[in-house]
């Protein structure tokens, strides 16, 4: 099977998103699609699978002009799309999610549950995944859900599988496993369109790569013939230099100190401090409990033991409002569910934690709010038509910047960033790093949870490693290596690093 | 570093966005078309006296619907407003009949409405009851309480009907305009400011858009929720006072199914039942649409049986158009 997209154009209202994109993929190859946040990658795929109509151009399938009426139609023709944000029904079981809209029925029109269960197991085992198909899908890790998504594609006999940032939330192991599966399927003649912001992955898995910028496809390469530098240049339109800016931190007094924080069955005896101007990274495997620790500090979830001190004073935080009052900010890892109000404007989203500071004579001061949000949007170079568009209309990476803008704007002195660059392109990553530096220069203390080891090593001053709810070590970043951090993250304790 | 600002200003050429226009101005356009239509069929409609009459009829539903707008914006619903109206109306009436000063009686009546609404809020915010179920239960309880309190009989009396202030609320005129219209206008103004110009309003939208995200951003979601149901109860009580004054008596079955008209006004005005989207201006228009339909069909002599069918169809059409314009 061969899909050719020729000169595709698309505008949302007055916002021209695609202005002539060419892209080709065929059976048995992995073709990567790269580009900055908002370049139009997801939009292009939505056009291919018929979710959006195009304004111009042509789609050829095996040489025939084709137009899919929607995702289901595309699926029937062997094209399956695994979305950037998975849309599972978390309370429903794995089987029920897999067979949603494709239920197998017996002759009375009732669902044949045994058969569905059998098939679900069959396709999952093909991927080497042992998953209890009767469990609610929400109880499984994102990596597992991804696996299920692929099994679903196999079930529909997909000949081309589109993966939109599949690894954004996967652990190293899960990524290795995913690539194993992709290689296997490739041998069986399945073609892949692979969208990712992670360079290493492109070179590991893709045969070809196409770069998009500002709505046009810039270049197509054989992966083996191109350098990382060239790809970055094509994407951003200029050289960006190093991935990570230099850090010249000046530490002040201890901003936040946590002593012996515990919550039964979640995390135990967590102690650490972070100083003004410092970036303390939290590393560890997914599910190690890093997010849970931070949620507890921020007052979303409880803890049954331990102390939290701010500027040396013990504080009792029982809710996010209290945390915000103590000038703590929290960028959650899940922007769709916890970070953004998707149907609200960028302005309303950004101003929310600071709204009480914009009252004049009892009424909100819209003029000041607009200035404030426009300044932040500019500062973070958010790609949006205006501050009045809804958050839902932004690309994934730009949504992330909006969440960041909201906490930067709230004047936090301790900023907890949970996976701050997830789904963010190289150029924007660099901007976020620069911003982190700027914040620490202004004496903000930053706690950064990140599953991206190079990022942890590149951007932090100290690294706290969490394994199964416990801190197995706090190390100085200068003396840390990928290996030493991984050892701690998998439970091995290195001599002399224990704090 | 070159500053690559992507936040473009709004002075770009603006092509006409039909969908946006419909979702914003649709209800107003519908109202204008309706008014033209009714006037063509029955020229008497446009007479000032009839229009004032129409506005006065609308005022009770509008006041309730303004409060309901807040509730629906949070993704909730308040089915108990009709019962709150009846109970507070009856209590206020009995206080007046027993000779209490009108000012005090009205105050107690309003306060009681607020407390009943607050009760709904506690059940929903702290009891974590689904708004539909919680207010369905309190609707029944408050209605029952009204029957117990009134013994099933209307409350009326000379002391009540001689009270100037009380009479003024529902039957009075100011500059030739019925007082309920002024009340509606003042309430609209206050709630408009509250919704669109205060932090409370912003928090209401945030709560309806994504409760968890609002909570993490520091919104006291429970307290906001409680206040919103309190407002709704307060508005129902105010409507109850106007109605009791209009009728010069408190009926135990007053306000039955008023919640439906209020919800209809909110939805006709373009507020999404899913929460987070909508405007109080829309609710005003929605209430006027319903009022114009009622008034127009009465003028045209259409039987009340058919009126119900027409009203239902109009709501359906409005919702279908709204779905069209907000999807994709
Ligand atoms: N439904 C929509 N309505 C209006 N604008 C949209 C809509 N969907 C996408 N856009 C705009 O189209 C542009 C491209 O978005 P798209 O999601 O395709 O980017 P992307 O390349 O996938 O980015 P990312 O890497 O951040 O996921 C963005 O500027 C976005 O704001
Ligand atoms: Mg995307």
Q: Are residues A232 and A308 in the same domain?
A: no
- Tell whether ligand 1 has an atom less than 6 A from the beta carbon of residue A393: yes
Is residue A245 in a domain? no
Give the nearest chain A residue to B16 (CA atoms). Answer: A13
Is residue A15 in a domain? yes
Is residue A21 in a domain? yes
- Which residue's alpha carbon is nearest to atom 27 within ligand 1? A396
Pair A337, A346: CB distance under 8 Å: no
CA distance readout (Å), B132 to A162, B71, B135, B136: 42, 11, 6, 6
- The confidence score (pLDDT) of residue B326 equals 56
- Tell whether ligand 1 has an atom less than 6 A from the beta carbon of residue A397: yes
- Which residue's alpha carbon is nearest to atom 29 within ligand 1? A38
Is residue A264 in a domain? yes
CA atoms within 13 A on the CB side of A263: 17
Judge whether B193 is closer than 8 Å to chain A, CB to CB: yes
Indicate the residue of A13, A378, A382 with minimum beta-carbon distance to B17: A13
What residues does each domain of chain B span?
Answer: 57-322
3-class DSSP assignment, residue A128: coil
- What separation in Å is there between the alpha carbon of A384 and the centre of ligand 1? 9
Name the domain count of chain A: 2
- Tell whether ligand 1 has an atom less than 6 A from the beta carbon of residue A17: yes
Indicate the residue of B7, B209, B216 with minimum beta-carbon distance to A387: B7
- Which residue's alpha carbon is nearest to atom 1 within ligand 1? A393
Rg (alpha carbons) of chain A, rounded to whole number = 24
Residues A42-83: tens digit of each pLDDT: 999 999 999 888 888 999 999 999 989 988 899 889 999 998
Residues B26-47: tens digit of each pLDDT: 889 889 999 999 999 988 899 9
Torsion (CA) B185, B188, B189, B195 in degrees, nearest 10: 180
- What separation in Å is there between the alpha carbon of A34 and the centre of ligand 2? 10
- The confidence score (pLDDT) of residue B325 equals 57
Residue A253 neighbours by CB distance under 10 Å: 11
CB contact under 8 A, B218 and A320: yes
**Domain with A460 in it:** 254-498
3-class DSSP assignment, residue A365: coil
Residue with the larger pLDDT of the pair A284 and B205: B205
Judge whether A110 is closer than 8 Å to chain B, CB to CB: no
Judge whether B91 is closer than 8 Å to chain A, CB to CB: no
Backbone CA torsion sign across A249, A251, A255, A259:
positive
Q: How is the beta sheet containing A15-26 ordered, strand by strand?
A: A15-26, A2-12, A56-61, A64-65
Topology of domain B57-322, CATH = ABC transporter involved in vitamin B12 uptake, BtuC (1.10.3470)
Q: Are residues A190 and A268 in the same domain?
A: no
- Tell whether ligand 1 has an atom less than 6 A from the beta carbon of residue A177: no
Residues A401-418: tens digit of each pLDDT: 899 999 989 889 999 999
- The confidence score (pLDDT) of residue A377 equals 93
Residues A419-478: tens digit of each pLDDT: 998 878 888 888 889 889 999 999 999 999 998 888 999 999 999 999 889 999 999 999
Q: Are residues A420 and A279 in the same domain?
A: yes
Distance from CA of A22 to the nearest CA of B (A): 25
Q: Are residues A113 and A218 in the same domain?
A: yes
Least-confidence region, from A119-123, A140-144, A186-190, A232-236: A140-144
Is residue A249 in a domain? no
Backbone CA torsion sign across B279, B281, B284, B290:
negative
- Contacting residues for A398 by C-beta, under 8 A, at least 6 apart: A37, A38, A382, A383, A384
Distance from CA of B7 to the nearest CA of A (A): 5
- For residues A475-487, give the mean pLDDT: 88
Is residue A314 in a domain? yes
Q: Are residues A222 and A267 in the same domain?
A: no
- Mean pLDDT score of chain A: 89
Pair A119, A40: CB distance under 8 Å: no
Residues A23-40: tens digit of each pLDDT: 999 999 999 999 988 889
Least-confidence region, from A141-145, A470-474, A492-496: A492-496
CB contact under 8 A, A384 and B6: yes
Distance from CA of B11 to the nearest CA of A (A): 11
Over pLDDT 90: what percentage of chain A?
52
CB contact under 8 A, B209 and A341: yes
- What separation in Å is there between the alpha carbon of B148 and the centre of ligand 1? 60
Residue with tokens 């951090």: A485
Write the CATH number for A221.
3.40.50.300
Residues A149-177: tens digit of each pLDDT: 888 888 888 999 999 988 877 777 778 88
Q: Are residues A191 and A282 in the same domain?
A: no
Cross-strand partners of A274: A256
Judging by DSSP bridges, how do beta strands A160-164 and A56-61 pair with one another? unpaired
Pair A355, A364: CB distance under 8 Å: yes
Is residue A242 in a domain? no
- Contacting residues for A50 by C-beta, under 8 A, at least 6 apart: A67, A68, A69, A70, A71, A73, A74
Under the banding of pLDDT at 50, 70 and 90, the label for residue A107 is confident
Under the banding of pLDDT at 50, 70 and 90, the label for residue A87 is confident
3-class DSSP assignment, residue A384: coil
- The confidence score (pLDDT) of residue A269 equals 93
Judge whether B217 is closer than 8 Å to chain A, CB to CB: yes
CB contact under 8 A, B202 and A343: no
Chain A residues touching residue B126 (CB < 8 angstroms): none
- Tell whether ligand 1 has an atom less than 6 A from the beta carbon of residue A395: yes
Q: Are residues A287 and A418 in the same domain?
A: yes
Considering every ligand atom shown, identify the ligand nearest to the alpha carbon of residue A397 and give its number: 1
Q: Are residues A483 and A391 in the same domain?
A: yes
Question: How many angstroms separate the CA atoms of A458 and A426, rounded?
Answer: 14
Question: How many angstroms separate the CA atoms of B113 and B244, rounded?
Answer: 14
Considering every ligand atom shown, identify the ligand nearest to the alpha carbon of residue A422 and give its number: 1
pTM passes above 0.90: no
Q: B152: which 2 tokens?
A: 């099933």
- Tell whether ligand 1 has an atom less than 6 A from the beta carbon of residue A12: yes
Considering every ligand atom shown, identify the ligand nearest to the alpha carbon of residue A424 and give its number: 1
Question: How many angstroms separate the CA atoms of A86 and A146, rounded?
Answer: 8
Q: Are residues A177 and A270 in the same domain?
A: no
Indicate the residue of B7, B12, B17 with minimum beta-carbon distance to A377: B7
Q: Which of A292, A353, A357, A349 lies closest to A323 in space, CA to CA?
A: A353
Residues A332-361: tens digit of each pLDDT: 988 888 899 999 999 999 999 999 899 988
Is residue A308 in a domain? yes
CB contact under 8 A, B217 and A320: yes
- The confidence score (pLDDT) of residue A54 equals 82
ipTM score assigned to the predicted complex: 0.80
Residue with tokens 């997010």: A291
- Contacting residues for A302 by C-beta, under 8 A, at least 6 apart: A263, A296, A318
Instruction: Catalogue the long-range contacts made by B144-150 (C-beta closer than 8 Å, 24 or more residues apart).
Output: B145/B87, B146/B83, B146/B86, B146/B87, B146/B90, B146/B252, B147/B252, B149/B87, B149/B90, B149/B91, B149/B94, B150/B90, B150/B250, B150/B252
CA distance readout (Å), A481 to A17, A216, A429, A487: 41, 40, 21, 10
């Amino acid at each position: 099977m061969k899909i050719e997209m020729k000169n595709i154009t698309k505008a949302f209202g007055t916002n021209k998103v695609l202005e002539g994109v060419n892209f080709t993929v065929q059976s048995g190859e992995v073709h990567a699609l790269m580009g900055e946040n908002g370049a139009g990658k997801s939009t292009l795929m939505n056009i291919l699978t018929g979710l959006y109509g195009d304004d111009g151009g042509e789609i050829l399938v095996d040489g025939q002009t084709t137009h899919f009426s929607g995702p289901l139609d595309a699926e029937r023709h062997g094209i399956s799309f695994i979305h950037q944000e998975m849309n599972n029904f978390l309370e429903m079981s794995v089987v029920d999610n897999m067979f949603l809209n494709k239920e197998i029925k017996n002759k009375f029109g009732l669902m044949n549950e045994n058969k569905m269960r059998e098939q679900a197991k069959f396709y999952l085992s093909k991927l080497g995944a042992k998953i209890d198909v009767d469990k609610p899908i929400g109880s499984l890790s994102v990596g597992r859900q991804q696996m299920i998504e692929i099994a679903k594609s196999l079930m529909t006999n997909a000949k081309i599988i589109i993966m939109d940032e599949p690894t954004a939330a996967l652990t190293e192991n899960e990524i290795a496993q995913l690539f194993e599966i992709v290689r296997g399927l490739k041998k069986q003649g399945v073609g892949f369109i692979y969208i990712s912001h992670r360079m290493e992955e492109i070179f590991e898995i893709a045969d070809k790569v196409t770069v998009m910028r500002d709505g046009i496809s810039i270049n197509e390469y054989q992966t083996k013939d191109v350098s990382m530098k060239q790809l970055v240049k094509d994407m951003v339109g200029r050289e960006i230099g190093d991935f990570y800016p230099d850090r010249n931190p000046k530490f002040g007094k201890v901003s936040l100190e946590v002593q012996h924080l515990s919550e039964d069955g979640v995390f135990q005896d967590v102690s650490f401090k972070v100083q003004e101007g410092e970036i303390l990274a939290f590393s560890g495997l997914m599910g190690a409990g890093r997010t849970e620790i931070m949620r507890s500090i921020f007052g979303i979830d409880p803890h049954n033991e331990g102390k939290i001190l701010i500027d040396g004073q013990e504080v009792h935080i029982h809710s996010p409002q209290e945390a915000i009052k103590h000038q703590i900010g929290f960028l959650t890892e899940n922007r769709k569910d916890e970070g953004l109000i998707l149907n609200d404007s960028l302005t309303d989203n950004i101003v929310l934690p600071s709204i009480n500071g914009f009252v004049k004579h009892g009424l909100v001061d819209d003029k000041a709010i607009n200035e404030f949000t426009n300044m932040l949007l500019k500062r973070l170079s958010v790609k949006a038509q205006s501050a009045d568009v809804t958050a839902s209309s932004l690309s994934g990476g730009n949504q992330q910047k909006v969440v960041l803008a909201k906490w930067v704007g709230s004047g936090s002195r301790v900023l907890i960033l949970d996976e701050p660059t997830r789904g963010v392109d190289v150029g924007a990553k660099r901007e976020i790093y620069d911003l982190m530096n700027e914040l620490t220069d202004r004496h903000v203390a930053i706690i950064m949870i990140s599953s991206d080891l190079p990022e942890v090593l590149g951007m932090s001053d100290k690294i706290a490693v969490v394994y199964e709810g416990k801190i197995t070590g706090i190390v100085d970043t200068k003396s840390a290596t990928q290996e030493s951090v991984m050892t701690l993250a998998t439970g091995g304790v290195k001599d002399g690093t224990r704090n | 570093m070159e500053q690559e600002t992507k936040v473009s200003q709004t002075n770009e050429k603006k092509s006409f966005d039909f969908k946006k226009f419909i979702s914003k101005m649709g209800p107003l356009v519908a109202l204008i078309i309706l008014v033209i239509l009714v006037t063509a069929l029955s020229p008497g409609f446009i007479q000032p006296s009839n229009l004032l009459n129409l506005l006065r009829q609308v005022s009770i539903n509008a006041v309730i619907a303004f409060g309901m707008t807040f509730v629906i914006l949070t993704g909730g619903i308040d089915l108990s407003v009709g019962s709150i109206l009846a109970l507070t109306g009856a209590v206020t009436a009995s206080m007046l009949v027993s000779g209490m000063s009108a000012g005090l009686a009205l105050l107690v009546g309003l306060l009681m409405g607020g407390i009943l609404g607050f009760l709904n809020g506690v059940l929903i915010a702290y009891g974590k009851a689904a708004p539909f179920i919680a207010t369905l239960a309190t609707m029944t309880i408050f209605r029952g309480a009204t029957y117990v309190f009134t013994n099933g009989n209307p409350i009326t009396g000379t002391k009540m009907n001689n009270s100037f202030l009380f009479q003024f609320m529902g039957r009075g005129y100011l500059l030739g305009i019925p007082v309920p219209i002024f009340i509606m206008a003042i309430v609209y103004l206050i709630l408009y400011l509250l919704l669109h110009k205060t932090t409370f309003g912003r928090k209401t939208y945030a709560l309806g858009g994504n409760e968890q995200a609002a909570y993490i951003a520091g919104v006291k979601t429970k307290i906001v929720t409680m206040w919103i149901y309190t407002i709704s109860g307060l508005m129902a009580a105010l409507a109850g006072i106007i109605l009791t004054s209009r009728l010069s008596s408190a009926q135990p079955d007053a306000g039955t199914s008023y919640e439906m008209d209020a919800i209809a006004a909110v939805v006709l005005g373009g507020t999404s039942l899913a929460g987070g989207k909508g405007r109080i201006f829309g609710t005003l228009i929605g209430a006027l649409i319903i009022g114009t339909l009622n008034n127009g069909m009465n003028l045209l002599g259409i039987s009340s049986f058919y009126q119900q069918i027409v009203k239902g169809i109009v709501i359906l059409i409005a919702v279908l158009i709204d779905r069209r314009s907000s999807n994709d």
